[in-house]
């Protein structure tokens, strides 16, 4: 037999279903986290600083700004993560999920279980460094 490799090019429907379930669980958690970060941005919290001395008020407002900035960064990261997970669901539907966009080879199941929105194999990721 000529160069016939028994290398899989795509994951089976059953394997894709497993990945879809992982992604849906992560998506649900990511959406909850995103809402929590958004809520932190929209609410000042329960500590009222109206009647404190000016010095403490400035310190507390500074801490609130930092925590709002951090909440904003976390919300942005979570929103990006949600977009990546949704894109992974699209790839499952169109049959390209789990295929490295650089090498064209299957991304390992272990990597996809850990990073279900991955589009690069470890090999391709390491070659980018």
Domain ranges of the chain: 13-96
pLDDT on residue 51: 45
Q: Note the Cα 77 to chain centre separation in Å.
A: 8
pLDDT on residue 70: 85
Reference 47, options 35, 68, 64, 67; nearest CA is: 64
pLDDT on residue 2: 40
Which residue has better confidence, 88 or 8? Answer: 88
| In the predicted structure, residue 65 carries a pLDDT above the cut 70 | no
Structure tokens at 122: 């470890």
Distance in angstroms (rounded) separating the CA atoms of residues 11 and 14: 8
Estimate the crossing angle of helix 54-94 against helix 13-42, to 10 degrees.
Answer: 160
| In the predicted structure, residue 1 carries a pLDDT above the cut 50 | no
pLDDT on residue 36: 87
| In the predicted structure, residue 86 carries a pLDDT above the cut 60 | yes
């Amino acid at each position: 037999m000529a160069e016939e490799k028994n290398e899989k090019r795509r994951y089976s429907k059953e394997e894709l279903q497993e990945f879809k379930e992982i992604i849906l669980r992560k998506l649900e958690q990511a959406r909850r986290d995103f809402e929590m970060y958004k809520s932190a941005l929209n609410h000042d919290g329960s500590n009222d600083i109206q009647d404190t001395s000016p010095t403490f008020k400035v310190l507390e407002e500074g801490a609130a700004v930092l925590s709002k900035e951090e909440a904003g960064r976390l919300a942005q990261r979570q929103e990006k993560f949600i977009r990546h997970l949704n894109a992974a669901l699209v790839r499952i539907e169109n049959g390209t999920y789990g295929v490295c966009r650089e090498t064209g080879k299957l991304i390992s199941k272990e990597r996809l279980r850990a990073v279900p929105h991955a589009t690069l194999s470890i090999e391709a990721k390491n070659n980018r460094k």
